[in-house]
Structure 1
Amino acid sequence: MRIIAGRHRGRTLAAPPGDATRPTADRVRQALFDMLWHAPWGGRTTIQDQLVLDAFAGTGALGLEALSRGADHCTFLETGRAALAALRANIAACGEEPRTAVLAADATRPPHARVPCGLVFLDPPYRKGLVLRAIAALEKAGWIAPGAIIVAETAEDEALDLAGYERLAARAHGAAMLHVLRAAGGNGC
């Protein structure tokens, strides 16, 4: 697993042993960031200069990819001890400590945000209903900015219907489905 593009392009990322963490595959991340950058509803400002939240962060691959491509700051939420160790090692390997915050916190019971984020990644374990629970909790805690882009990864056959969010895209990539939503209250990020 590696960073696909930007200032950290080619940087190898560590993953914890075992199958408790399921990192987003390089090809899926490539497809996701291409979509964010080139879709009619997307563009460079979808990533560049954004405050990013990587919830269920695991190795931090999504948030670090966003930083590599020009995001201003990324907050990572993760609870697994092995994943937190890999995440911190990956942040250090990229030299991104000044532009990151790592919170050992559950995305379904997050602490209150200091500033809302314009780009939110959710990559929880599949088939546990965690995306909907996390979005509700993150919204209540102030993590989701008006008009924020939310990217949620689920199992391909897992439905994701969310009132109050505009569905911008849904793309299958093998066993994974990427859902891209826009929060109410803005015309984009």
Structure 2
Amino acid sequence: MPRKYVILLAVTLGVIVLDQWTKYLVVRELTTQMDGKESLGERLGAMYSEPPPQGFDGLHYRSKRHIEVSESFFRIRYAENPGAAWGLFRNLPPDTRGPLFHVVSLGAVLLIVYYFRKLSGTAPEERWALWGLPLVLGGALGNYIDRLARGFVIDFLEAHWFDKAAWPSFNIADSAICIGVGMLIVDAFVRKEKPASAASSSAKT
């Protein structure tokens, strides 16, 4: 198997496993959804089966506590996001939101794979895309698993400024997507500058 596909599989699967594992821990420790479930199979069934109806707080899984990592800046708190990243489109009707996200998610996967196949996997200037695309793919699939399983994405990382301003809750999949997109932006500049530099050197000789 070519090296680039080893990287694709390893990074993508690594992001998916880390994302789903952290979400499992959050549901187990910060909600009541797995209370009374003794075996791993029972707990996984509680997490990946049809969720209970929303409660008075708007959550399907009842929150029981949160973790203050830094009282003024950061906490881990269970949250549900039926929308896209940072809650975009969460107010769309479910019968519109569901099909839209399925199409967008599958389209993103196909687009990422298409561009990844065009990489040689050996050129040094491709390194940003070589690692960035799998990060985005793993993040997209991690959140898509949530949508397929329960119709909403589990978020739990909450950055804030003394509770006066807060960044929308996010998760490991969102983090991987942001890092991957950042690497792709760098890639766009790196691979744009290289031909220009090469042409300039040729002209001088």
Higher relative contact order (CA 8 A, sep 6+): 2
With normalisation by structure 2, the TM-score equals 0.23
With normalisation by structure 1, the TM-score equals 0.24
Structure having the larger proportion of residues in strand: 1
> If you compute each CA radius of gyration, which structure gives the higher value, 1 or 2?
2
